[in-house]
């Protein structure tokens, strides 16, 4: 047994490939048929919340909660086991063997328990030689494994794509996934077949008839950039979904704690509108009432499970605002108004642009609030930042008995603590039939704030499709911390016969900024006020790899690797509030080596409206340009990149990096230490620094190497086996790391990709403490692996004593040679 607790690995994430020819999939010998998944599957999978920490008790307890909480009655029926359920080696007969510690009654015992609850059991496999966590894969064992799972009573197979030995062609993907389809058919037990190849080979073009669902994206993460990116990738694929063949944008993160309730409701709403599988990925044993309410919203679930089986069509998608239209079996339409921007926005669509038939008006039922209103020609709502409003809409012949749809939109510039004068602008719009009477608008900010109306806040009458504009001056008390603060807006009005009144509410989340603290700081540790980037988000401490967040590598300019910086693509702009307190910005700039360009880029640093430093044209492969900008007295800092036209007359998105940018504020001198201070523990400049394997090596080893380094001229080449090992050192004298909060090391993965994890030994007994999750790095890519102390767990009775660190280890797997450098603490 290898040292360390059970650990987890996230599945590899790849970008969707460009257009390729789509070979036809072979016809199945015994098609499982759409009856297996006439509607998108609903259930649970342990991966997002538990990773490799899966066992019999967790699966059975989850099945119990499905029944007791009402989730089973709402439609959740599959209880799915993900990676790490088996032993590391196959049995003597070649069969997969369940880990007897995790599953003392075997998978069949768990299946019997789950089936006894009226539920179904899912299992995990891999179309390669090893699973993503290094357990046996099914490549070359398809028939045996399918018979094994069928014999255990498995009802659902998630079939992953790690260690796939692929030549990268679409034909190979079709071949490998069709082999398992045929094996399932031959095994004689119907199983829902979930193809999990991350959208790499455009499975929506070939997988119908092979599986019932297929992943369209890389792995989801519990954060807003990940959710936004996956929606953007999956929403346009609506022509490819239908009964028995579904686009799968990955499992639900709802309840895992890193997003807001508004963002989680968007998650649930957009998955339902996209007819996506609803696979819960949180610990239901500790789920909050809000989490259960989101997951259990029957009206949203009904949209997802509608028997017509249509994925919502993208009606419009502009400037971060998207409208989806999903026809339903009873003739209604679900209309989603999605706001991916960072501020309140009014999102709307003409009813004539949807599939709704022409009518005098339309009834709109809000599937989150239950409110019912009517609109004459436009379906709209004031949608909060990162929010989604879902209406169930039907034609209405007698609109005058239903309250009108009234939107309250608003905008407000960035607020500065201790100042007044910012203008809050609100617009009340009547979208219903009939006239509004005696409209009154109010705005309420946090305690101590002043909101002074600068226009009348009332209007006598407001006809259909007419608006009332109101403004206030907003004052923020001195000392208000930087952050986001809600302002509530309410419009009250009369409608219909005398005596009828109603109100419409919205919430604007305002942003308060304060100047940076004294000292030299890495700019990536300071939150910008806003940023705009041509492709995907601005990346912190890595290059911009594409539309998804976190998909780049370490910034590399002309062969030099940087661990700090900002990755952008032209055209881009990042804005910071300085408040006149900062004096200097120093940075290197250049076009990232990972994305060579024939088009030059220009980098400009603005102090307010003045260009304080500019690079001039920079070409791919140029030595990094060093810029120093004088920011003395500036209120705002802006970083701007621009590119040429690539010979087509249209701007070209060039991968531009701000490498190692350092901001100097207060009385700090440029040569003062840069915060947060970092202490390097191992840099491998003089050798391997005593590094070795924690477990008996299986063709594994370490050697100093100049091939990859982020500190000095050398790093460490690490040769791993497929199953992986812990690599590190036990220092002669215990290390005192008191006061440090974060462990980091830099990694460049080999040709198979790898996972990275950090563990420490503490105390005289050398007790082993480690984090619960691995971080995947794609083949050939590089990144900084980070673990906060709160991520590191120790065995029962052991305290993480950082004053007595007796060993430091990193985990790498999947075989091949990987490179690491600069293990450090901050």
Active site residues: 160, 219
Interacting residues of 85 by C-beta distance below 8 A, sequence separation 6+: 54, 98, 99, 102, 103, 107, 123, 124, 135
Question: What's the rounded Cα separation, in Å, for the pair 107 and 187?
Answer: 17
Please give the Cα distance from 107 to 667 (Å, whole number): 65
Alpha-carbon gap, residue 572 to 589, rounded angstroms: 14
Cα distance between the two ends of the chain: 32
Whether the CB-CB separation of 67 and 112 falls below 8 Å is answered with: no
Burial of 109 (0-12, 13-18, 19+ CB in 10 A): middle
Q: What is the DSSP string of 532-550?
A: E-SSSPPEESS---SSSTT
Q: Taking Cα atoms as reference points, which of 580, 576, 586 lies closest to residue 528?
A: 576
| 443-463 b/e (C-beta count within 10 Å ≥ 16 → b) | bebeeebeeeeeeebebeebe
Contacts of 425 (CB under 8 A, 6+ apart): 410, 411, 412, 469, 470, 471
Give the whole-angstrom CA distance, residue 195 versus residue 157.
Answer: 8
Task: Give the single-character DSSP code of 312.
Answer: P
Number of H helices and E strands in the chain, helices first, is 10, 52
| Strands of 458-462's sheet in order across | 415-416, 501-513, 483-494, 436-444, 458-462
Sorted by sequence, the CB contacts under 8 Å of residue 716 that are 6+ apart come out as 682, 684, 688, 689, 691, 702, 703, 704, 705, 819, 820, 821
Neighbours of 160 (CB within 10 A): 26
Q: How far apart are CA 745 and CA 822, in angstroms?
A: 6
Place of tokens 């007419």: 466
The Cα diameter of the chain in Å comes to 87
Query: DSSP letters of 403-452?
Result: PBPEEEEEE-PPEETT---EEEEEEEEE-SSS-EEEEEEEEE-STT-EEE
Q: Residues of 93-106 as b/e, b for ≥16 C-beta within 10 angstroms?
A: eeebbbbeebbeee
Residue pointed to by tokens 């538990």: 50
State phi, psi for 251 to the nearest 5 degrees.
-75, 170
Tokens at residue 12, please? 């590899």
Find how far residue 186's CA is from the centre of its chain: 38
- Pair of tokens at residue 634: 């500036």
The Cβ of residue 35 has, within 10 Å, a number of other Cβ atoms equal to 9
Exposed / middle / buried, residue 36 (Cβ in 10 Å: 0-12, 13-18, 19+): middle
DSSP per-residue letters across 383-396: E-TT-EEEEEEEEE
């Amino acid at each position: 047994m290898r040292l360390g607790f059970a650990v987890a690995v996230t599945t590899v994430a790849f970008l969707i490939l460009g257009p390729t020819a789509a070979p036809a999939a072979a016809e199945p010998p015994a098609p499982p048929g759409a009856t297996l998944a006439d509607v998108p599957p609903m259930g649970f999978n342990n991966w997002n919340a538990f990773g490799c920490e899966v066992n019999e008790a967790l699966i059975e307890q989850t099945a119990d909660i499905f029944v007791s909480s009402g989730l089973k009655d709402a439609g959740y029926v599959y209880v799915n086991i993900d990676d790490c359920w088996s032993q590391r080696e196959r049995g003597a007969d070649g069969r997969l063997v369940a880990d007897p510690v995790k599953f003392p009654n075997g998978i069949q015992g768990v299946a019997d328990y789950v089936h006894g609850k009226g539920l179904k059991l899912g299992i995990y496999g891999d179309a390669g030689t090893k699973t993503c966590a290094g357990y046996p894969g099914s490549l070359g064992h398809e028939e045996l494994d399918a018979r094994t799972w069928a014999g255990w009573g498995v009802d659902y197979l998630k079939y992953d794509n790690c260690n796939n030995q692929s030549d990268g062609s679409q034909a190979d993907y079709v071949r490998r996934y069709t082999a398992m389809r045929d094996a399932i058919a031959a095994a004689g037990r119907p199983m829902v077949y979930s193809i999990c190849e991350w959208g790499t080979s455009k499975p929506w073009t070939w997988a119908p008839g092979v599986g019932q669902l297929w992943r369209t994206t890389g792995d989801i993460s519990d954060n807003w950039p990940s959710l936004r990116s996956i929606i953007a990738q999956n929403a346009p694929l609506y022509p490819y979904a239908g009964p028995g063949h579904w686009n799968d944008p990955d499992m639900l993160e709802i309840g895992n704690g890193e997003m807001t309730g508004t963002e989680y409701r968007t998650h649930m709403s957009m998955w339902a509108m996209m007819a996506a599988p609803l696979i819960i990925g949180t610990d239901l044993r500790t789920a909050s009432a809000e989490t259960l309410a989101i997951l259990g919203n029957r009206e949203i679930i009904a949209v997802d499970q509608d028997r017509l089986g249509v994925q919502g069509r993208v009606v419009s998608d502009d400037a971060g605002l998207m409208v989806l239209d999903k026809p339903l079996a009873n003739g209604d339409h679900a209309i989603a108004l999605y706001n991916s921007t960072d501020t309140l926005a009014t999102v709307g669509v003409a009813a004539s642009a949807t599939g709704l038939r022409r009518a005098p008006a339309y009834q709109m039922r809000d599937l989150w609030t239950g409110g019912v209103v009517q609109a004459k020609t436009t379906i709209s709502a004031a949608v909060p930042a990162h929010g989604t409003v879902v209406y169930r809409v039907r034609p209405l012949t007698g609109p005058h008995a239903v309250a009108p749809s009234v939107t309250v939109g608003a905008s407000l510039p960035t607020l500065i603590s201790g100042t007044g004068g910012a203008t809050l602008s609100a617009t009340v719009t009547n979208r219903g039939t009939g006239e509004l009477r005696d409209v009154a608008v109010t705005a309420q900010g946090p305690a101590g704030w002043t909101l002074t109306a600068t226009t009348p806040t009332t209007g006598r009458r407001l006809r259909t499709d007419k608006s009332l504009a109101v403004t206030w001056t907003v004052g923020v008390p001195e000392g208000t911390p930087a952050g986001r603060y809600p302002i509530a807006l309410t419009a009250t009005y009369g409608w219909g016969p005398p005596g009828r009144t109603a109100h419409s509410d919205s919430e604007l989340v305002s942003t308060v900024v304060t100047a940076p603290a004294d000292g030299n700081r890495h700019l990536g540790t300071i939150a910008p006020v806003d940023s705009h980037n041509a492709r995907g988000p601005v990346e912190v401490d890595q290059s911009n790899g594409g539309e998804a967040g976190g998909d780049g590598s370490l910034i590399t300019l002309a062969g030099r690797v940087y661990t700090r910086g900002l990755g952008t693509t032209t055209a881009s702009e990042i804005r910071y509030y300085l408040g006149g307190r900062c004096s200097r910005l120093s940075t290197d700039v250049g076009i990232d080596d990972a994305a060579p360009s024939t088009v030059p880029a220009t980098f400009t640093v603005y102090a307010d409206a003045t260009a304080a430093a500019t690079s001039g044209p920079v070409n791919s492969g140029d030595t990094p340009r060093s810029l120093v900008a004088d920011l003395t007295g500036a209120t705002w800092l802006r970083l701007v990149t621009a590119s040429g036209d690539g010979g087509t007359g249209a701007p070209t998105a060039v991968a531009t990096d701000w490498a190692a940018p350092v901001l100097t504020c207060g009385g700090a001198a440029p040569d003062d230490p840069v915060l947060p201070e970092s202490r390097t523990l191992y840099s491998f400049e003089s050798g391997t620094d005593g590094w070795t394997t924690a477990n008996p090596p299986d063709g594994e080893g370490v050697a100093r190497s100049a091939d990859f380094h982020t500190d000095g001229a050398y790093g460490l080449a690490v040769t791993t086996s497929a199953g992986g090992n812990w690599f590190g050192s036990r220092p002669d004298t215990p290390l005192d790391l008191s006061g440090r909060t974060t462990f980091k090391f830099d990694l460049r993965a080999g040709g198979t990709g790898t996972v990275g994890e950090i563990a420490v030994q503490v105390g005289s007994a050398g007790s082993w403490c480690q984090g619960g999750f691995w971080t995947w790095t794609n083949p050939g890519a590089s990144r900084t692996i980070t673990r906060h102390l709160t991520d590191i767990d120790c065995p029962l009775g052991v305290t993480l004593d950082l004053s007595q660190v007796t060993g430091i280890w990193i985990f790498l797997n999947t075989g091949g040679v990987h490179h690491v450098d600069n293990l450090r603490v901050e």
